[in-house]
Amino acid sequence: MFRVFLHLDMDAFYASVEQRDHPALKGRPVIVGAPPAQRGVVCAASYEARRFGVKSAMPTITARRLCPHGIFLRPRMEAYRAESRQIMGIVRDQAGDLIQQVSIDEAYTDVSARHQGETADASLERALPLARSLKTAILAARQLTVSIGIAPNKLLAKLASDHQKPDGLTLIRESEKVEFLKPLPVRALHGVGKITEEHLHRAGLHTIEDLQNHPGDLRAIVGAWGTELRRFAFGIDERPLEVDEEVKSISSENTFARDTEDRPTLRTCLKGLAEDVAHSLGQHRLAARTVQVKIRYGDFTTLTRQISLEEPLTEARDLFRLGCWLLARERLVSRPLRLLGLGVSGLVEVRASQLHLPFGN
């Protein structure tokens, strides 16, 4: 049986919900996050704001400098979660129950059984009416746009959904996949983060075509994962849907030998925790949308505080910065700490950057 996957990705989800609920914001640069007059970070940005360089996890004061006419709104996470439930209900009604929801605004669905043709390409093309119907239904019911990718596996379906954002629909045929991948940067492949990218660049491998043509064993460059990386470079991905994801969260914590409120000590500790968490994310080839700090005082009072972003994070420096911000915002270091922890959740597969790809429908 030929495989047919759809990947659905809502467009600028948090900001789009705000623009829908407040029509006066339509077409204006909306920035979801703390007000710039306060210490805070950007959780999400509309496409109008992104044109100015505004992005998730950026300090709001920087966002204000880049986009002086931006409209700053506090996030309404419960509203976004409720919206997500409505949208995923539409997807289940039309596509069936084989759905892997990987974040609040993103999901895969396997429709292989329903769209079989004489060839792999014919099977994929048979899914086009379903994809168009999903886009129409979500727009009619929720007044929001979604970008959808159709492909023979998860790797390519995700790349396809990123291709023509916003409101895109892209089909990557089995017969086109190798040529489709050639001009893309190595970072576009699932699992290639900053460190792996640096190793590949040092070896002179910058595009996926470079990986396809490399005569040596990629394991000599990136370790045991090199075999799978070469398969990905040729568009081969046999991962099934994961309806129940095993990894829900990742965290690291440190109990101090003596309670402390020494700022350099706490910063050094938090930096190490961020590096541990980032390393674990890299091992699982995941990114995180929610960052949480945990503190425990000498009397064993334990508190946690968190922030959720629209764009997922992978880098230790971003996790460290958000951890510092949460500690400062909540004034958690008001007395000596017995324990300090950093964790992430809302885990998603590493997202490729917005790409300009050569094929589309």
| Active-site residue set | 106
Question: Which of 152, 91, 158 has the alpha carbon at shortest distance from 120?
Answer: 152
SS3 content of the chain, % helix, strand, coil (to 5): 40, 25, 35
Distance CA 24, CA 75 (A): 18
- Encoded amino acid at 83, one letter: E
Q: How far apart are CA 96 and CA 88, in angstroms?
A: 11
Sheet order of strands, 302-313 included: 249-260, 337-349, 286-297, 302-313
- Cα–Cα distance, 201 to 356 (Å, whole number): 20
Q: Closest by alpha carbon to 92, among 102, 107, 77?
A: 107
CB 48 within 8 A of CB 35: no
Cα–Cα–Cα angle for 121, 238, 220, nearest 5°?
Answer: 120
